[in-house]
């Protein structure tokens, strides 16, 4: 799940081992199997070997979709689009954008957001997906002002009005 939620993110063996609190040998074996199946790719940078989802693999779109569903992203997005007003953009930042399921979802919403509906929606969705959702609602002008700081953090675009 860590590699397939945001396929642009990379991770190395010790980082994954520490994050999941399991031995390096267990992580190494899983990574080897995923590499053998060509589901992930690896490249060496310095002393570390970095792993990343292979988004060119034929099964990648389905795996990406399954991970989003497992984490409740599809439920969050569907509810947001139906009930929140004039939404321009929705994206994740920090842990979930990196593919880390820490139990706290940081969601940024840009547009004219109906905050009363948002509070109700967040309460219901948190119960359904069994994770905490922390929201940041920004107008377009506020987003333009904060964009440089937000771009320094890992982001995963969930939806964007074109």
> Can you tell me the mean pLDDT for 107-114?
92
- The answer on pLDDT for 150 being more than 70 is yes
Domain boundaries, the chain: 2-64, 71-160
Q: Write out the CATH class of domain 2-64.
A: mainly alpha
Q: What are the structure tokens assigned to 5, written together?
A: 């939620």
Q: Please tell me the distance from the alpha carbon of residue 31 to that of residue 52, in angstroms, as a whole number.
A: 10
* DSSP assignments along 128-153, one per residue: HHTSEEEEEEE-HHHHHHHHHHHHTS
Q: What is the pLDDT of residue 103?
A: 87
DSSP E strands: which ranges in 19-84?
Answer: 40-45, 48-53
Nearest to 100 by CA among 18, 28, 5: 5
- The answer to whether 105 and 94 are in contact (CB under 8 A) is no
Number of H helices, E strands in the chain: 7, 7
Pick the more confident residue, 30 or 68: 30
Phi-psi region of 16 (alpha: psi -120 to 50; beta: other; left: phi over 0): alpha
Residue 96 sits at φ, ψ, to 5 deg, of -65, -35
pLDDT digits (tens, 9 = 90+) for 80-90: 667 777 889 98
Question: Span 71-160: which CATH code?
Answer: 3.30.460.10
Phi-psi region of 61 (alpha: psi -120 to 50; beta: other; left: phi over 0): alpha
> Can you tell me the mean pLDDT for 27-52?
92
> Largest Cα–Cα distance in the chain?
50
Cβ atoms within 10 A of the Cβ of 25, count?
Answer: 10
């Amino acid at each position: 799940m860590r590699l397939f939620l945001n396929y642009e993110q990379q991770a190395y063996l010790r980082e994954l081992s520490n994050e999941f609190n399991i031995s390096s040998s267990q992580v190494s074996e899983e990574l080897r199997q995923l590499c053998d199946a060509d589901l992930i790719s690896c490249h060496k940078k310095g002393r570390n070997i970095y792993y990343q989802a292979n988004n060119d693999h034929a099964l990648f779109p389905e795996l990406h979709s399954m991970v989003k569903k497992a984490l409740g992203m599809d439920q969050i997005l569907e509810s947001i689009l139906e009930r929140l007003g004039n939404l321009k953009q929705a994206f994740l930042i920090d842990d979930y954008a990196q593919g880390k399921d820490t139990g706290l979802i940081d969601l940024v919403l840009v547009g004219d957001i109906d905050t009363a509906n948002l509070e109700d929606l967040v309460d219901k969705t948190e119960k359904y997906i069994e994770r905490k959702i922390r929201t940041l609602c920004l107008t377009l002008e506020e987003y333009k002002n904060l964009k440089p700081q937000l771009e320094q953090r890992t982001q995963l675009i969930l939806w964007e009005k074109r």
